[in-house]
Amino acid sequence: MALEMNKWERRVDALLGVAASAILFALMLLTFADVLARYLFNHPLRGGFEVTELMLLVLIFAGLPLVSHADEHVTMDFIDRMIPQNAGRMLARVVHAVCAAVMFFMTWQVLVKAGKISSYGDTTDVLKIVIGPFVYFMAVMIVLAGLAHVFKVFFPGEARASQMTT
């Protein structure tokens, strides 16, 4: 069972990682082309700023479930050395449960906002790109991060437990 979970986890991590890498590469190409057009032809790419903003949004939120699953959020571990190992494991599970609750609350709030933005038909100023789907994407990525934290409550993994002992 654990081997199947690891296979499944690796596939999801790989999928999100490849997507994030592709977005980062496209963002790099867009920035390069925009700078080149701006300085060589004195004509920046029309709407380049908007596309850059939307790509950064997608990149950041696509990475959120990866960071949550890999336990790579910024942490302060100064208390870990002062509490017993079992208590540290329990504390890690409680922290993951709190993080999951916060992520689910944020998902709800972002979904409310996405509904409003979609109902207004908001678009970007220059290229008229519809913003609603991007906000729904944010909600999906936040809920995936929340689910990653729920997963960590029940299957904290060895990485976090080994950090507790050092």
**Residue-wise pLDDT tens digits, 23-80:** 899 999 999 999 999 999 988 889 888 999 999 999 899 888 888 877 777 777 777 7
Residue 141 and residue 68 in contact, taking contact as beta carbons nearer than 8 Å: no
Q: Say which residue the tokens 């080994």 belong to.
A: 162
Residue 102 and residue 143 in contact, taking contact as beta carbons nearer than 8 Å: no
**Residue-wise pLDDT tens digits, 73-119:** 777 777 777 888 778 788 888 989 999 999 999 999 999 999 999 99
DSSP strands (E only) in 20-165? none
Residue 139 and residue 132 in contact, taking contact as beta carbons nearer than 8 Å: no
3 state SS of 126: coil
Is 0.85 surpassed by the pTM of this model? Answer: no
- C-alpha angle 133/122/105, rounded to 5°? 55
Q: Please count the CA atoms within 13 angstroms of the CA of 91 that sit on its side-chain side.
A: 17
Token pair recorded at residue 15: 């999928």
What confidence tier does 166 reach under pLDDT thresholds 50, 70, 90? very low
- 106-142 in b/e burial notation, b at 16+ Cβ within 10 A? bbeebbeebeebeeeeeebeeeebebbebbbbbbbbb
